Amino acid sequence: MTADSGEKSAVPVLVPMPAPGPYSYGVPAGTTIAPGAIVAVPLGPRLVPGVVWDGPAGKVDAKKLRAIEHVFDCPPLDAAMRRFIDWLADYTLSPPGLVARMALRVPAAFEPEPAIDGIVWTGGKPEKLTGPRARVLDMAEGGVAWTKSGLAKAAGVSATVVDGLMAQGLFDTVAIPPPPVVPLPDPALGRTPLTSDQEAAAATLRDAVGKGGFSVSLIDGVTGSGKTEVYFEAIAEALRQGKQALVLMPEIALTHAFLDRFHDRFGARPAEWHSDLSPRQREKTWRQTAEGRVRVVAGARSALFLPFAELGLIVIDEEHDQAFKQEERVFYNARDMGVVRAKIGGFPVVLASATPSVETRVNADAGRYRRISLPTRFADAALPDLKAVDMRRAPPARGGSLSPVTLNAVRETLAKGEQSLLFLNRRGYAPLTLCRSCGHRFACPDCDSWLVEHRFRGRLVCHRCGHNEERPEACPHCGAVGELAACGPGVERLAEEALGHFPEARIIVLSSDIAGGAKRLRLELEAIAKGEADIVIGTQLVAKGHNFPSMTLVAVVDADMGLNNGDPRASERTFQLLHQVTGRAGRTGKKSLGLIQTWQPDHPVMRALVSGDMESFYAREIAERERAHLPPFGRLAAVIVTANSRIEAEGHARALRRAAPETADIDVLGPAEAPIAVIRGEHRFRLLIHGERRADMQGFLRAMIASGPKPRGSIRVSVDIDPQSFV
């Protein structure tokens, strides 16, 4: 582009960089470019993608104004999406460019997908009608466009036969539009007859979607009560209204079983969006979502940033799940931001969970959210009978983790030919290795964490940063040989223990570091569902969303594990996880049992699980939060300062604290060294900001950061609004 003289018009363009706002760019003479257009602009020596933003461009000296280089042939980001990006940036204190970056992640999709070369029979006859030629023309009848190779294949002939016919001018070439990533879903197709409770719930949702406008509905129902069936009806209604729908799931729950069920209901799968997609699938899905060719997306949290053309419904399944929180770069909670996106877009959002978050329950109790309850499991599927195993009274054998009570239950389950799940939320063989001779403990050189032994791989691994080393024969500290002891259980060790007791049983171990990745995992899950395992040993990977028909025993090996970590949500999380895990049992009407091995059977979480009295658990949790002014009755934000040295990190955190404004309704706690004081060689300090419900947290944080020192050198400051993690 050449800079010409005279008045040039300029527009703001948001580029995917951590800049505080859009930059101004010139518009080529004689053109107008509307907000939302996706463009390429020069930035320093590079050309980067950007989005034309709203409002007037900032003033730039005409001589310095650089021009937009290219306008992509791409549907614009609509006004709702642009407002959403601004809103999220403002709320999370992130540069808007970094938020926009999440919507612009697939530059290859900014130009249309190339059409495919196709051929259509003109209807003319060949000079000589051989058998193969006749088969080709048979296939080509009816004016259908084929690819050359597709036609040859369908007719069962070699491509040269088609070439021969083409040489005689019997085919016109045409452009075939690129194939859809998924066929169109049909809302009328496989409607499941619903129970009366389900039907009432579905009718409420259909009504909300039909009327349009923003609303939040919580479907609150035990596992297996039909929440998925019910929200499918909301999606069907959105489709009938000509709207697109988005289903957000914790990544792990996005199983083939779910996709297949969706297919049964709608005759096509939803488009998927998660970290496992190939670049090609990613491009096609992004593009076709923007073009409105994809009608339903099921995805992990980042699907919230897809450029939907006509989004009219968001469903957030397992809304309580922590996986919705992103804790890097832009810290945001996709559950909360999904609600914001719906509000800005003016359409309904549906939250589903068997164990809603306390925040959502409070919103429902206060009438801000509509609460739809599904109190019973579908058909005769009874919830498992839950019992606490008091580990003080029935402790495991020395070196073991399984109580005799649990072992008996597994034995009985095996005898009936049914399946057991032993749940332990710890990967690997043992969380700590120490030398019996000198007491040396194996720690990560770069993190404040012990190395976890992975015996199948023969390695010691850091679960924070991935550092791993071979497990040595001799202690590196004192040189003693054969003195290394594995302390505490992981799933691999549990498998060893189970095998010792039940040598005949078919045992499958499942955790996220399974060799063979996502594909192998899927096969294992299918094998379990088909009853091809007697004992399943797994981490929380098996807790979510899966349907294992012959599973009638679930034993939680270390129910207390998540309780004593200083997290204000520890009770809530433990309750949610254990409820969900035990809910894997008894999905098909067989009598089933859930055993909870605990050293604290009187803990409110254990009592609530065993008694099944969820309401009093929630009431107690909610009262406790209200008393302590914790979310949602008060507000929290964390400021995390990291640096290469402890002194720098601490010094900067202290300086920020001193820079905090005086405000009656906000307190600053800390700085304190983070519970995980070092990750990847970065030292970490935390400040916790605690405000009243209506306090202006963002204003406070901005003022604090603005008047504090500029971070220099290796110092980094991250702000985490509404933190979920406190490590």
Residues at the interface with ligand ADP (CB under 6 A) = 192-195, 198, 221, 223-229, 378, 547
With CB under 5 to 8 Å by kind, the binding choice for 227 among ligand ADP, Zn ion, none is ligand ADP
Distance CA 399, CA 401 (A): 7
Are 680 and 465 in contact by the 8 Å Cβ rule? The answer is yes
Burial state string for 430-462 with b = 16 or more CB within 10 A and e = fewer than 16: bbebbbebeebebebebbbbbbbbbbebeebbb
Nearer to Zn ion, 231 or 450 (CB): 450
The residue (of 229 and 650) whose beta carbon lies closer to ligand ADP is 229
Q: What does 467 interact with, of Zn ion, ligand ADP, none (CB < 5 to 8 A by kind)? A: Zn ion
Q: Which residue number, 223 or 420, has a Cβ lying nearer to ligand ADP? A: 223
- Provide the minimum distance between the beta carbon of 451 and Zn ion in the complex, in angstroms, as a whole number: 8
User: Which of Zn ion, ligand ADP, none does 284 bind, CB closer than 5 to 8 A by kind?
Assistant: none
Of Zn ion, ligand ADP, none, which one sits near residue 194, judging by CB under 5 to 8 A according to partner kind?
Answer: ligand ADP
Measured from the CB of residue 270, what is the shortest distance to ligand ADP in angstroms?
15
462 binds, among ligand ADP, Zn ion, none (CB under 5 to 8 A by kind): Zn ion
The residue (of 201 and 309) whose beta carbon lies closer to ligand ADP is 201
**226, interface contact from ligand ADP, Zn ion, none, CB < 5-8 Å by kind:** ligand ADP
Smaller CB distance to Zn ion: residue 356 or 490?
A: 490
Query: Which tokens belong to 495?
Result: 């498998």
Asked if 653 and 689 count as a contact pair (C-beta separation under 8 A), the reply is no
| Least CB distance to ligand ADP at residue 229 (A) | 4
- Residue holding tokens 């899905």? 285
- Binds 143: which of ligand ADP, Zn ion, none (CB < 5-8 Å by kind): none
Residue 59 has which token pair? 């003033």
CB of 326 to Zn ion, least distance (A): 21
User: What minimum distance in Å lies between the beta carbon of 338 and ligand ADP?
Assistant: 18
Q: Which is nearer to ligand ADP, 227 or 686 (CB)?
A: 227
> Among residues 293 and 579, whose Cβ is nearest to ligand ADP?
579
Please state the closest distance from residue 607 (CB atom) to ligand ADP, in A. Answer: 24
Please identify, using beta-carbon distances, which residue of 498 and 525 lies nearer to ligand ADP: 525
How many angstroms separate the Cα of 232 from the Cα of each of 121, 257, 258, 670? 42, 14, 11, 47
Contacts with Zn ion by CB under 5 A lie at 444, 446-447, 462, 464-465, 467
- Which listed option, Zn ion, ligand ADP, none, makes contact with residue 464 (CB within 5 to 8 Å by class)? Zn ion
Q: Which two tokens stand for residue 463?
A: 């679960």
Task: Measure the CA–CA gap between 625 and 619, rounded to whole angstroms.
Answer: 10
Query: Which DSSP state fits 703?
Result: H
| Dist CA 556 CA 593 (whole Å) | 11
Which does residue 93 bind out of ligand ADP, Zn ion, none, counting CB within 5 to 8 angstroms by kind? Answer: none
- Which amino acid, one-letter code, is at 60? V
Work out the burial of residue 170: count CB atoms within 10 Å of its CB; fewer than 13 is exposed, 13-18 middle, 19 or more buried: buried
Q: Which does 465 bind (CB under 5 to 8 A by kind): ligand ADP, Zn ion, none?
A: Zn ion
What are the angstrom distances between the C-alpha of 61 and each of 7, 9, 426, 499? 11, 12, 59, 75
CB of 198 to ligand ADP, least distance (A): 5
Q: Which is nearer to Zn ion, 155 or 447 (CB)?
A: 447
Residue 446 interaction partner, one of ligand ADP, Zn ion, none, beta carbon < 5-8 Å per kind = Zn ion
Q: Considering beta carbons, is residue 187 or 226 the nearer one to ligand ADP? A: 226
Residue 690 tokens, joined? 């605690």
Exposure string for 94-132, b = 16+ CB within 10 A, e = fewer: bbbbbbbbbbbebeebbeeeeeeebbbbeeeeeeeeeeb
Of 642, 622, 116, 630, nearest in space to 327 by CA: 642
Nearest distance from C-beta of residue 298 to ligand ADP, angstroms: 14
Q: How far is the CB of 446 from Zn ion (least distance, A)?
A: 5
Cα dihedral: 560, 564, 567, 570 (round 10): 20
Taking the least distance from each CB to ligand ADP, the nearer of 227 and 454 is 227
Residue 547's binding partner among ligand ADP, Zn ion, none (Cβ under 5 to 8 angstroms by kind) is ligand ADP
Kind of pairing between the strands at 215-221 and 348-353: parallel
CA distance 231 to 202: 7
Q: How far is the CB of 488 from Zn ion (least distance, A)?
A: 18
C-alpha to C-alpha distance for 567 and 496, rounded to whole angstroms: 32
The least distance separating ligand ADP from the CB of residue 256, rounded to whole angstroms, comes to 14
Classify burial at 658, counting beta carbons within 10 Å of its beta carbon; exposed 0-12, middle 13-18, buried 19 or more. exposed
Minimal distance, residue 426 CB to Zn ion, in Å: 17
Helices (H) and strands (E) in the chain, counts: 19, 31
142 vs 193, which CB is nearer to ligand ADP? 193
Residue 727: is it exposed, middle or buried by C-beta count within 10 angstroms (0-12/13-18/19+)? middle
